Structure 1
């Protein structure tokens, strides 16, 4: 099945009812393999659990324990995201449709559908494979997914067309963060709200993608070789930012009135920590919310959350 653009007469592939509107694809995604896998998974009609497991089973060099762990994270992740939707994300996406930019397997949209069955949810991701998963996940949770494969720097949406945008742990992976923010600003309605989350470059904890300490404190030019030396892992598609860099980009590329939040460690997570780590986490929660110490934690906090509203344009 193909979709034809009336403006440029270009044809776009459609898989499982999901249009592939990617104008370009980053080097870290094998476009041919991604499309082939998505088509095969769509035709297989697997139950959700088996579908997610099959995606990870195709990863080169992954053992069964790793496949099972990552599959659980996807399937159980929507429970934690429901708590986020009830707390810090509630003012952003309380009602109506919203765009989940970088939606992956659809965990956030599935969580929103559980809270409000029948809700229309817009999901855009660079991976067609994960969008096939997202369609099944959201549909089984009672939502109405509207999905498309596209680049975050070139969204297939009209100006001022969405009332809210949520993009969790995405900005550190896009090729052009400035274009990504400008596109979010373009499609967001005046008065619409946006929410982001991203790890902090200068966190005192290990880099969360590769679990190596001290990565962000090094010059950019040395980070990949340092990670390879310490862990043997590739570190080529992640660029973390400080709170100051993030705030500067938001001011320059968007019309958002925003605040940067230092999140606390959820008690649900602390419950799995050992005694010493639990005490440390609760101490962090207590002192990081102090107005006096907030500037310090904007430098060293592991993660940031950003919420904001697009100011009305006259």
Structure 2
């Protein structure tokens, strides 16, 4: 028989976090408790029942893998949910060191050579330390108060970095891939954090209105099927005064398209981009739709209540040091020029990447 449902706050419906006390937030899946998460269909309270979460409003049921709720609903995505779920269950059952676990996931990708697998594995494991500067810098306000969301958290690298730095805020993670969330759970714990994770779509966030003090979503907006719905969901779950931090490549950059490393993709009409990429590189170009600064500005104004700023970030010095001497000179020149107020309009047109920060109005 299922254990009776326990409220997290002494009998009332669970509410948004307040202050710095996060003791009431349960683990991602605790049978017998009300969940921090909400039904992605109706936003009703979810009760944890053995191996499932049950919506107390619409009676829908959701499963879990390794204690991580699967709150995905049917929708367009870059992954096949059933295949991802099967791999996630396999990965969760593996008794491997973290490095070997990450390597095993990349090794499943068709055509990936050992050198690329090693490179990507090292990047995942090294990312938390590399992200310290961002967490202390442009992401500081979005990750410093109450409960904040890493939307599209992947293997949990940002959440692990925040745990390293003992941020006063409490990070939770949502990603469309259950496989990477299984890795995120281990990576965050290895860095001393408390993993609170769920598999879900950015267009149907399993959170109550006004739950969050901040949302960080790095290099995600270009991959969602409905960026307008994704932004409205971010707006919905963020409280007034809450912070926003997004990043995305610029469609009209003069640099190669960073996902496929092909020049000139964004200059073409969208209907020709996939064929052009296939012709130039032999790679697929699906589930990627970059925007320029004007498009970003329009959609943010239309779909959110954030007062926002689009920033042209410099090339990080640690990356510059790995460049050839000529490329390093050009990168440092770019950094100086992109920071000039008089040249801001030009770099908003042609700069390679954007950062967007904002504060939600009432």
Q: Which has the larger helix fraction?
A: 1
Give 1:98 shift.
1.2
1:286 counterpart = 2:336: yes
Say if 1:272 and 1:229 are closer, same or farther in 2 by CA, change over 3 A: same
Say if 1:124 and 1:304 are closer, same or farther in 2 by CA, change over 3 A: same
Q: Answer yes or no: is the 8 Å Cα contact 1:25–1:31 preserved in 2.
A: no
Give 1:300 shift.
0.2
CA RMSD of aligned residues (A): 1.2
Query: 3-state DSSP class of the match of 2:173?
Result: strand
1:160 corresponds to which residue?
210
Q: Answer yes or no: is the 8 Å Cα contact 1:262–1:304 preserved in 2.
A: yes
1:189 corresponds to which residue?
239
Give 1:81 shift.
1.2
Q: Unpaired segments of 5 or more residues in structure 1? A: none
Aligned counterpart in structure 2 of residue 28 of structure 1, from 73, 78, 85: 78
Give 1:27 shift.
4.9
Give 1:278 shift.
0.4
Aligned residues: 312
For 2:252 and 2:197, locate their aligned partners in 1 and report how far apart those are by CA, in whole Å. 35
Q: TM-score w.r.t. structure 1 length?
A: 0.97
1:209 corresponds to which residue?
259
Query: 3-state DSSP class of the match of 1:163?
Result: strand
Give 1:117 shift.
7.1
1:5 corresponds to which residue?
55
2:7 corresponds to which residue?
none
Q: How does 1:1-314 map to 2 (within 5 A)?
A: 1-116=51-166, 120-312=170-362
Q: Answer yes or no: is the 8 Å Cα contact 1:118–1:142 preserved in 2.
A: no
For 1:38 and 1:289, locate their aligned partners in 2 and report how far apart those are by CA, in whole Å. 43
Identify which range, 26-35 or 193-202, moves more after superposition: 26-35
Give 1:54 shift.
0.9
Q: Answer yes or no: is the 8 Å Cα contact 2:160–2:193 preserved in 1.
A: yes
Q: Answer yes or no: is the 8 Å Cα contact 1:38–1:129 preserved in 2.
A: yes
Q: Unpaired segments of 5 or more residues in structure 2? A: 1-50
Q: Answer yes or no: is the 8 Å Cα contact 2:265–2:273 preserved in 1.
A: yes
For 1:249 and 1:234, locate their aligned partners in 2 and report how far apart those are by CA, in whole Å. 26
For 1:91 and 1:117, locate their aligned partners in 2 and report how far apart those are by CA, in whole Å. 11
Q: Answer yes or no: is the 8 Å Cα contact 2:143–2:167 preserved in 1.
A: no
Say if 1:248 and 1:27 are closer, same or farther in 2 by CA, change over 3 A: closer
For 2:265 and 2:222, locate their aligned partners in 1 and report how far apart those are by CA, in whole Å. 14
